[in-house]
Structure 1
Amino acid sequence: MKRREVLKASLGAALAAGGLPGLAGPANAKALRARVRPGAAGWPSAAEWDGLRRATSGRLLKLASPFAGCAADAASCATLREQLKNPYAIGDNPALTQTSGWQDAWLSQPSAYAVAARQTADIAAAVDFARTHKLRLVVKGGGHSYKGGSNAPDSLLVWPRAMNEVSVLDAFIPQGGTEADAMPAVRIGAGAMWIDAYTAVTTKAGRYVQGGGCTTVGVPGLVQGGGFGSFSKRWGTAAASLLEAEIVTADGQIRIANVYTNPELFWAIKGGGGGTFGVVTRMTLRTHELPEFFGGVFGDITATSDAAFKTLVTRFIAFYRERLFNQHWGEQVSLREGRKLHLAMVFQGLDRAQAQAVWAPFLDWLRASEDYTFQEPTIMAVPARRFWDADFWAKTAPGIMAKDDRDGAPSHHAVWQGDRGQAGWYIHGYESTWLPAALLDEGAQARLVDSLCAASNKWWVELHFNKGIAGAPQEALERTRNTATHPSVLDAFALAIIAGGGDPAYPGMPGAHPNDAEARRRASAVRGAMNELRKVAPNAGAYVSESDFFQQRWQDAYWGPNYAKLLEIKQRYDPDGLFTVRHGVGSEAWSADGFTRKD
């Protein structure tokens, strides 16, 4: 029996028996069987909710849909609709999520109450209250969860948006460590977004921290999901840079997790999934020396025929293997309708002349052919320290970044223009798979090209090269290997993403009328396109934060051989499943809505 089959067989037996040996599991007669909804016996009384309000210094909020008053106040509703184009405005409303829902999967609905935490004690009080009263508990940092993990009606929400402090440290020593462990780092609060981190670390301090590509993503959520940034091909995943975390576990205890203190919990939150092992209240991440330049290559190439498009993809894959498959290059290309290859790549550690030299052979080949139409791609390099500086971009290349234009918004809050389409979007279908670097071997490239072209005939295909770590320096590979993320990320040259969605469709939102039939048709096309790619990568894993809500064999797809250990840690720190998210570690013990334990 193959190792994968042995893992699946042993894991299945453990789950069927109610858990792993020696740990509390679903079969435990004392285990919590169901959570309480409003109006049911056991739902906290007004006096008990008031007690939580006092325990959190008045930071308990009763939530309702922001669209509830639209019928009576059309002007305010119109303002709200306009703000849905601004991801910062969405994130500042605890009753909203950055994604408005997913066809036939979930809809964004506010929790019953939220604790707008400003300190760790507020979060501990919320966790204690939820555990004591058997409530559904959810956690929302950045709120980008595509699969709805930060969303649950009838729940208590932990919302640490205001805990957004960022402190740059010259020599951080983890608790229990020694002077030999000291290194430059940054301490980041639970509510901080990556733009907050990049502004403090790069723009102001001239260092680099490996974080997310989208500036509005929350820091702890990305790290716990094992997330990637534009330059992960150089520095590994965000989880690989985690040095220490403060976390409130299901028993309400405030714990420090690092390699010396609670080391297994520390490993679990490095890629084991957000909202699963506790509420992370702050994280400390290593920082790195900043290269002189960051840059990008942007453009579109259109083929005149199907045969020419296949030749273009063939040539690009060979070019990628020869010139781009290394630590300098990240982000993506996409195969689009109309026989178009869209370039949106970034680089680090090269100047503009060096980047131009890298691309010269490919561009010379294009110019020599009459089968393609294109404008010369934009190749630009900027001082790395200015890469996340919205004022710099406003002067240098207006339109690349869009600022949060609300009165009183922090001046550094800006988003890449290309990411604004995600604000409030309603997902029709979303799938991902890692593509093994072996597919770049000379003898395998033809199969890869055939699969990519077949998939792109059904839907757009995006190849995110920075979300596969193969080709990274050895130190980045080793740090990433020491996380809970599926080990196949180490052997992947890219993450293929095939996805589609529509305009915001929050429940109760005036004018929101999703076309269910069309959404399902598009979801089917997305699924069909991914099936073409899986012909060349049939057992590849998927990235937990960017994958199918209906993911099959999700334990193996997201964590592979790491899942059994993650489940053991989960049952040790959270035996009653207080922290339950869709397809999170241990969630197979609970109903899809997280309210009822399965028999």
Structure 2
Amino acid sequence: MRGPDRRSVLRAAGAGGLALAGLGLGGETLTGCDHKPRPAAAPTSASGPDWAALDARLTGPLIRPGDQDYPAASMLFDPAFDTIRPQAVARATSAADVAACVDFARRTGLPLAARAGGHSYGGYSTTTGLVVDVTSMATITPTSGQQARIGAGALLVDVYDQLARAGRALPGGSCPTVGIAGLTLGGGIGVLGRRHGLTCDRLVAADVVLASGEIVHTDADHEPDLFWALRGAGGGNVGIVTSFTFATHQATPLALFTYHWPWSAAADVVGAWQRWVAGPGGAADATWSTCVVSSAPASGVGATPVLRVSGVFSGGTDDAALAGLRGQLAALVDACGHRPSSTYLVTRDHLATMLIEAGCAGRGVKSCHLTGRSPGGTVARVAQRAASAFLLSPMPTRGIEVMLDAIEQRQRTARAGSGVVILDSWGGAINRIAPGDTAFVHRGAIASAQYVAGYAASDPPAVKEENRRWLRSTVAATAPFVSSTAYQNYIDPELADWEAAYYGANLDRLRRVKRAYDPDNLFRFAQSVAPA
């Protein structure tokens, strides 16, 4: 029998939430593994959990080590996590399959992880226990009222493709093999964010399997605290979503631009770009932009790092609209004080634009899937380390110098892979939502900074460690010039005070929601939200 009625707990948390959150905490930062006992394990045979019993409950396959499909079923996007060997991967085909897996994990005490695209930077979409793979639940169905129902296992390239066929679109990320579930639950930034908001801002409803095994529907009127949490709490925290309903918008042709400058102009260009995206009279809401500084170590002796500004414009592709865009870009060039070494501006239909942003220009949707996982897929797995921060205002001159120095140091490092700092513009529709209206609290940023250190999976341990040191030293050096917050979808296993960095003022409410829906902390990983 279940404990106190979950809705009663929610009402208590809502009415007396501050008192509940304060009981016994004393300002302490909690982690689920240290402070919450596991549910009592059900008796198992001497050989371990009764996998045959679980298999009999599932419609989809249960894949175990030694099975032919296990290598592909167990891998994530980053080969760094290939050493993690799940005891089983359940390819769920329905919410009932997911519920059976949740029930099995609860009774046996096995670690549990949900996985869609498998892009977690921390490897948190795998486990040594049971992985619930939802990628078979990938149906994308445009519905009446300009909405779309999307299975939790759908990948972004398929979402964009199938919505575009219906003349619809959804703001989301660029990487084609990212899953809609992880993207949405942690926020969801992308090239249309300034115009249409985050992916989570377009969420209308969801179907969720709770830690109890119960399958619930949530929206603004049903389980409203759960609905609040799903929009920004991050994946795997309060339940396993099996289906999303989104409010879509019309798919329109888009304009793409890329400007390059010589590296000698980098300090001026980076400073001008930040003021351009942040200030009045700069980039309009329909103009999303990214400023990227990256090393190019394979370019040979004497090569310099690379500087580019590129973006997507959703304000129209007629002559008047494009004239307005060119005026915005001319203002940026004037502010930089340097002429670009090359410029590029084209218009494409919506799907073609998303394929270009995904790195799949000139290729079909089928090829824009992961090699070895989807037939015809040509997207390679990538080994990298990453971290993030938000810019609440333009970086001062000294901060820009420190960031560029780090890239130059990477350029000079023998055997190093690429080192990149990506500044993505925020603002617009993203910041018109109050920080407390959804669990996603980062509503005042002008830009996000993503630090990426790439390497080869075959590199020796010393090179990998050097790669890690460069990333951590770059993050530490730039920290005085950015905010102390970070993007939960760029989850960072080495981030100190990560709860405050990801969730800020929304953390206490998230903990209360977690207590109401997962009091025994079944859904837990190294950086999961702990119950209040």
Q: Give the TM-score normalised by structure 2.
A: 0.81
Would the aligned equivalents of 1:451 and 1:536 in 2 still touch at CA under 8 Å? no
Query: What is the distance in 1 between the residues matched to 2:186 and 2:169?
Result: 20
Alpha-carbon distance, 1:286 to partner = 0.8
**Structure 2 equivalent of residue 477 of structure 1:** 432
**Structure 2 equivalent of residue 128 of structure 1:** 103
Query: What is the distance in 2 between the residues matched to 1:382 and 1:480?
Result: 34
Residues 504-523 of structure 1 mapped to structure 2, 5 A cutoff: 504=457, 512=458, 514-523=459-468
Amino acid at match of 2:120: S
Amino acid at match of 1:123: V
Q: Tell me the number of residue pairs that the alignment of Structure 1 and Structure 2 aligns.
A: 490
User: Which of 454, 465, 473 matches 2:424?
Assistant: 465
**Structure 2 equivalent of residue 32 of structure 1:** 38
**Structure 2 equivalent of residue 226 of structure 1:** 187
SS at match of 1:564: helix
Query: What is the distance in 1 between the residues matched to 2:44 and 2:323?
Result: 68
User: Which of 388, 391, 398 matches 1:435?
Assistant: 391
Deviations 1:396-453 (A, max 9, x none): x636988258999989x878xxxx5xx43233x42210000xx24xxx7545544543
Cα separation, partners in 2 of 1:332 and 1:407, compared to 1, 3 Å: closer
Query: What is the distance in 1 between the residues matched to 2:351 and 2:104?
Result: 44
User: Which of 338, 343, 355 matches 2:325?
Assistant: 355
Amino acid at match of 1:333: C
Amino acid at match of 2:140: V
1:55 maps onto 2:57 in alignment: yes
1:383 maps onto 2:357 in alignment: no
Would the aligned equivalents of 1:148 and 1:582 in 2 still touch at CA under 8 Å? no
**Structure 2 equivalent of residue 525 of structure 1:** 470
Alpha-carbon distance, 1:269 to partner = 1.2
Q: Give the TM-score normalised by structure 1.
A: 0.73
**Structure 2 equivalent of residue 552 of structure 1:** 496
SS at match of 2:525: coil
Residues 169-568 of structure 1 mapped to structure 2, 5 A cutoff: 169-171=143-145, 184-201=146-163, 203-290=164-251, 292-304=252-264, 308-320=265-277, 321=279, 324-337=282-295, 338=304, 340-351=306-317, 352-363=322-333, 374-375=341-342, 377-384=343-350, 386-388=352-354, 398=362, 403-404=367-368, 420=379, 423-427=380-384, 429-436=385-392, 439-440=393-394, 445-459=396-410, 460-466=419-425, 468=426, 470-472=427-429, 477-478=432-433, 482-486=437-441, 489-504=442-457, 512=458, 514-537=459-482, 539-568=483-512
Cα separation, partners in 2 of 1:245 and 1:45, compared to 1, 3 Å: farther
Deviations 1:499-536 (A, max 9, x none): 112223xxxxxxx3x32222222222222222232112
Would the aligned equivalents of 1:455 and 1:533 in 2 still touch at CA under 8 Å? no
Alpha-carbon distance, 1:299 to partner = 3.9
Residues 140-179 of structure 1 mapped to structure 2, 5 A cutoff: 140-153=115-128, 155-171=129-145
**Structure 2 equivalent of residue 82 of structure 1:** none
**Structure 2 equivalent of residue 113 of structure 1:** 88
Amino acid at match of 2:341: F
Query: What is the distance in 1 between the residues matched to 2:106 and 2:134?
Result: 19
Amino acid at match of 2:257: V
Cα separation, partners in 2 of 1:48 and 1:133, compared to 1, 3 Å: same
Cα separation, partners in 2 of 1:327 and 1:298, compared to 1, 3 Å: same
Cα separation, partners in 2 of 1:170 and 1:448, compared to 1, 3 Å: farther
1:97 maps onto 2:61 in alignment: no
Query: What is the distance in 1 between the residues matched to 2:248 and 2:142?
Result: 9
Query: What is the distance in 2 between the residues matched to 1:373 and 1:269?
Result: 43
Query: What is the distance in 2 between the residues matched to 1:44 and 1:244?
Result: 43
Would the aligned equivalents of 1:143 and 1:218 in 2 still touch at CA under 8 Å? yes
Would the aligned equivalents of 1:19 and 1:26 in 2 still touch at CA under 8 Å? yes
Would the aligned equivalents of 2:232 and 2:440 in 1 still touch at CA under 8 Å? yes
Alpha-carbon distance, 1:255 to partner = 0.7
Would the aligned equivalents of 2:289 and 2:311 in 1 still touch at CA under 8 Å? yes
Deviations 1:370-417 (A, max 9, x none): xx7723x11111233543479xx99xx636988258999989x878xx
Query: What is the distance in 2 between the residues matched to 1:299 and 1:221?
Result: 31
Deviations 1:129-175 (A, max 9, x none): 1111111111111111111111112x11111211111110113xxxx
What is the percent sequence identity of the aligned residues?
A: 24
Alpha-carbon distance, 1:65 to partner = 8.9
Amino acid at match of 1:581: F
Would the aligned equivalents of 1:99 and 1:108 in 2 still touch at CA under 8 Å? no
Alpha-carbon distance, 1:484 to partner = 0.6
Would the aligned equivalents of 1:194 and 1:214 in 2 still touch at CA under 8 Å? yes
Would the aligned equivalents of 1:25 and 1:571 in 2 still touch at CA under 8 Å? no
Q: Which moved more, 1:351-360 or 1:140-149?
A: 351-360
SS at match of 1:496: strand
Cα separation, partners in 2 of 1:471 and 1:18, compared to 1, 3 Å: closer
Alpha-carbon distance, 1:209 to partner = 1.4
User: Which of 580, 584, 587 matches 2:528?
Assistant: 584
Cα separation, partners in 2 of 1:515 and 1:576, compared to 1, 3 Å: same
Query: What is the distance in 1 between the residues matched to 2:289 and 2:364?
Result: 16
Cα separation, partners in 2 of 1:405 and 1:142, compared to 1, 3 Å: closer
Cα separation, partners in 2 of 1:17 and 1:355, compared to 1, 3 Å: closer
Query: What is the distance in 1 between the residues matched to 2:30 and 2:290?
Result: 40
Q: Which runs of 5+ in 1 are unaligned?
A: 1-6, 69-89, 172-183, 505-511, 590-599
Alpha-carbon distance, 1:461 to partner = 4.8
**Structure 1 equivalent of residue 5 of structure 2:** none
Q: Which moved more, 1:308-317 or 1:514-523?
A: 308-317
Alpha-carbon distance, 1:253 to partner = 0.5
Would the aligned equivalents of 1:116 and 1:158 in 2 still touch at CA under 8 Å? yes
Would the aligned equivalents of 1:230 and 1:331 in 2 still touch at CA under 8 Å? yes
SS at match of 1:535: helix
